[in-house]
A and B are shown apart, each in its own frame.
Chain A
Amino acid sequence: MNNMGFFSQIKAGLQKTRNSLMSRMEGLLARNAFDDTFYEELEEILIGADVGVETTLLLVEKLRAKVQEERVRDGDRVMGLLKELILEILGRETAPLQLDGAKPAVILVLGVNGVGKTTTIGKLAGQFREENKKVLLAAGDTFRAAAGEQLQIWAERSGSELVKHQQGADPAAVIFDAVSAAVSRGYDVVLCDTAGRLHNKANLMAELKKIHKVVEKALPGAPHEVLLVLDATTGQNALAQAQVFHEATPLTGLVLTKLDGTAKGGIVIAIAQKLQVPVKYVGVGEGIDDLLPFNPAEYVEGLFAAQA
């Protein structure tokens, strides 16, 4: 099936062990019989992509109604309808960063542990540097061992500057310093790293609120973007993550990382439906160029491409 778009842009060096069999979807469509078994299979594909039970049932129910209403008999047309339904939720357009010409533009990057926040920041820094922007990174993860060092390496790779305190320092203070420094020294962009935190730890979520407040204080109108990084491998818990983070610090976008594996990250559909927060980027590798704008149409194609 369709393998165009960012799923194919994944680094060429990465040899894939993707299932070479004809995709399940093709097999399904070839039957041209839209009975209960068909819809059950469809459900399984969606659930298998981590779309979640609730959203899957909703989608399939709507699809059934449409197929009946429009008396569709053709498999491709049915798939087209389903993709439409998903795009209605995800939005059709790419969602670029809304920095409103702010100088400096402040971007806060959040997420649970191990989703790829620091790597995402490194890649974003690389993109801004390519546009010849002056970039400052704030090492707001003062908790995890060597997190600052990790960001430092990304600063060097991308040619950005770094504001870093020692381990255990107050992250809000680090970020305040960085934003203030960016204001006075004329930086274009400040990318703020934060420590990974599970959303059910109230004290850590309160810390986020404080960080948000401090950024606002250092620069009225900031942060201009608050990005939640989600691991595509994560299942239904990602919805809870998005909900709780959104409550603590209103999110402006999602970054879906690790899409170069076999996970589809379908939970973003459920999140988009519940919170109306758009996916802005996808991560497809460990290199500095492996961050791409999220293209909903391509994503939906990928969702139904060969299941490994």
Chain B
Amino acid sequence: MLFANLSAKLQDTFKRLRGKGKLTEKDVDAALREVRLALLEADVNYKVVKDFIAAVKERSLGSDVMASLTPGQTVVKIVHEELTRLMGEQATKVTKAKTPPTTVMLVGLQGSGKTTSAAKLAKLLKKGGGSPLLVAADIYRPAAVKQLQVLGEQIDVPVFQLGGQDPVQIARAALEFARKHNHDYLLVDTAGRLHVDAELMEELARMQDALQPQEILLVVDAMTGQDAVTVAKAFQEKLALSGVILTKLDGDTRGGAALSVRAVTGCPVKFAGLGEKTDAFEPFYPDRMASRILGMGDVLTLIEKAQAAIDEDKAREMEKKLRRQQFTLEDFLEQMQQLRKMGPLSQLVEMLPGVGGLGKKLKGLQVDEKEFKKVEAIILSMTPKERLNPSIINSSRRRRIAAGSGTRIQDVNNLLKQFEMMQKMFKQFSKLDKGKMRGQGRFPFM
């Protein structure tokens, strides 16, 4: 991808200027051109980009960029700060009603992920001790009601539906039902509609009147392009939007739409959808989104996941072993298992800087879950002695291991070869300075 690494690009831009002594406004302009292109590539709306660049320019000219020894980094820092500021504070709470139920409407274009998001939100609220009721108010798309019912069953949350009746009627009846049955949350899944469809937009407004919801969440596909601005504006003109759910963030899009929508509506992005399973739903972190839009990777999320899953002591021990080059197949297995606790590997890899969005380059790095299971089986079929000292694994042992793990001898050979290569790699790592080692030692696979 053209602008995958903005930091490196800016570094380059400024390096060329280094000899000049003092940076001028023109130099800053050149740098901001790169920023502009990066944001446009990330699908931030061009009008939003314009305003944003103007703001960054003002700050850059006034501040320490000129004097800084590393102007590239300083500009990146300012850009990142401004982006984060624009993305707003983290806001993931659902505003509660004074008297239950708290009503939440989910609205958006077709295919943005409303139904899935409704189920995910219901699961989250249920987990927090709530008793949500899902309402199937999409009477237009074939089998939409059924979809919500199936999802409701999966997460054990009741679904209110009245078949193909008028959505406003459904809304009223659902509210009544929720009050009677003591549901504290009412989550209304509405039909997908185009913002230019006056009739259906009017219907949403009538549902709003009937429900008086505490929250109206606009569900936005993270892959949305320039039109995100038009869509968000149109929905906001008709409805009192209170927040945004950004879906399909498990893709490799940079997600500039998040910024566009935020800039236009002023509403915070409250949740992020990260997969098709009902628990793939997370609070939204504005600062991390800023990094992602800039192509700087989501290092923070990765670190957080690692911290949650990996035992600190074990990690330290592992690091020592690596440094002393005592890393065995046993350790390899253990690390692999810890890594898997962090979630699907493909997601983890994408969070690394410079990897997200690099469809092609990613190939070598593509981590296949099945491959991991295979490796696990092979190592588990080895004796402890073999795991400690793979060099004793001769051909008859290889045969035994392959048979025991249900793999082919080539698979065993491959693993041993890879392991040998890894050990060599670690040797090189340990030649690097120790500070660097600390960061990398924990994830030898990456």
Contacts and interface: CB of A to CB of B under 8 A. Distances in A.
A263 B226 CA distance: 8
Given A113-B111, A114-B112, A150-B142, A18 B226 contact: no
Interface in B310-368: 346, 350, 357, 359-360, 362, 366-368
A262 B227 contact: yes
B169 interface: no
A258 B147 contact: no
A153 B248 CA distance: 26
Interface string B375-394: 00000000000000000000
B59 interface: no
B196 A261 contact: yes
Interface in A242-279: 243-244, 258, 260-264, 267
A112 interface: yes
Nearest to B49: A47
B141, B143, B250, B251 interface centre (most CB from chain A within 10 Å): B143
B413 interface: no
A95 B366 CA distance: 35
B40 A47 contact: yes
Given A47-B226, A234-B223, A262-B227, A240 B369 contact: no
Contact of B43 (A114, A203, A235): A235
B340 to A, nearest CB: 14
B142 A149 contact: yes
Contacts of B251: 112, 198-200, 237
Nearest to B260: A235
A260 B111 contact: no
Residue of B42, B142, B197 ringed by the most chain A CB atoms within 10 A: B142
B176 interface: no
Given A114-B221, A233-B221, A233-B227, A14 B359 contact: no
Secondary structure class of chain A's binding surface, majority of residues: loop
Contacts of A201: 250, 346
A296 interface: no
Nearest to B115: A145
B224 A202 contact: no
A20 interface: no
A171 interface: no
A50 B231 CA distance: 14
Contact of B113 (A15, A113, A143): A113
A153 B360 CA distance: 39
A53 interface: yes
Nearest to B39: A53
B234 interface: yes
B264 interface: no
Interface in B97-118: 109-113
A52 B369 contact: no
Contacts of A52: 41
B323 to A, nearest CB: 32
Contacts of B228: 233, 235
Contacts of A267: 225
A203 B370 CA distance: 9
Nearest to B358: A240
B199 A15 contact: yes
A106 B110 CA distance: 27
B151 interface: yes
A18 B110 contact: no
Nearest to B227: A263
Interface string B387-413: 000000000000000000000000000
Interface in B231-280: 231, 234, 248, 250-254, 256-257, 276
A236 B42 contact: yes
Contacts of B350: 200
B230 A262 contact: yes
A303 to B, nearest CB: 12
A201 B368 CA distance: 9
A234 B226 CA distance: 8
A149 B154 CA distance: 17
Interface in A26-69: 44, 47-50, 52-54
Contacts of A238: 223, 225
A14 to B, nearest CB: 6
B150 interface: yes
Given A47-B40, A114-B110, A146-B147, A14 B196 contact: yes
B111 A114 contact: yes
Interface string B116-152: 0000000000000000000000001111101111110
A241 to B, nearest CB: 8
A8 B94 CA distance: 42
B146 A149 contact: yes
A235 B143 contact: no
B282 to A, nearest CB: 16
A258 B109 contact: yes
A198 to B, nearest CB: 4
B198 interface: yes
A143 B278 CA distance: 13
Contacts of A17: 195-196, 198, 234
Contacts of B223: 112, 231, 234-235, 237-238
B225 A114 contact: no
B143 A261 contact: no
A184 to B, nearest CB: 29
A13 B171 CA distance: 25
Contacts of B250: 198, 200-201
Interface of B: 2, 37, 40-43, 45-46, 109-113, 140-144, 146-151, 154, 194-199, 221, 223-228, 230-231, 234, 248, 250-254, 256-257, 276, 346, 350, 357, 359-360, 362, 366-370
26 contacts: A15-B196, A15-B198, A16-B196, A16-B198, A17-B198, A44-B46, A112-B223, A114-B110, A116-B111, A149-B146, A150-B146, A150-B147, A198-B250, A199-B251, A199-B359, A200-B359, A202-B366, A231-B223, A233-B228, A234-B225, A236-B41, A236-B43, A237-B251, A238-B225, A261-B195, A262-B230
Given A200-B350, A200-B359, A258-B194, 10 more contacts: A112-B248, A113-B111, A113-B113, A122-B142, A202-B367, A233-B228, A237-B252, A238-B223, A258-B110, A286-B110
Give the top 10 A-B pairs by smallest Cβ distance, nearest first.
A235-B225, A114-B111, A235-B43, A145-B150, A153-B142, A146-B147, A263-B227, A150-B143, A149-B143, A146-B146
